[in-house]
Amino acid sequence: MNNVIIIITGILGATLTFYVNEHLKQGAVRASALLTLIVSLFFYFFPELLNPYLTQNIPPAFIGASFVGMVSSKAIVHYQWLIMAGIIFSIIYINKSIFFRGYGGALGTSAFIALLATMAIPVVFSKKKRITNGILIFRKWLFRDKD
């Protein structure tokens, strides 16, 4: 049950940050910082509300998921991809002690890996089944005209 709550936290962290960033026009950093502050203060003032595992792990899981939500709307357009990235991030977060032992920046790295994996899903499952298709999409996105 604890892992399900962490996954829900990851989904909420990613989608809420993206929403505040894109729709409320607050910017990625401000959206992440504001929502993280609210969640962290809540668990700081009410530590007995949930069990100790969740009280200690929900704030960092939300922070990392908010890094996922800082993605540009040009890279991830639909919320279902953002939800998928939040789930992937949460799974990495739950198993982080195995993957990132002694490695700094685990939350940001996990968010980056989750976003890359999510952005690769349409390329891997495309009907053309060519890896060059993914390279062309990445190249087009990387060298696009700046607005």
Every domain of the chain and the residues it spans: 2-142
- With beta carbons less than 8 A apart as the criterion, state whether 20 and 34 touch: yes
Name the pTM for this structure: 0.81
- With beta carbons less than 8 A apart as the criterion, state whether 69 and 18 touch: yes
Which one, of 104, 35, 103, lies nearest residue 69 by Cα?
35
Walking along the chain (147 residues) 10 residues at a time, the average pLDDT comes out as 94 96 92 95 93 92 94 85 94 78 76 89 70 66 65
Instruction: Tell me the HSE value of 56 on the side-chain side, using a 13 A CA sphere.
Output: 4
Give the pLDDT of residue 130: 57
Token pair for residue 65? 């998921």
Give the pLDDT of residue 145: 61
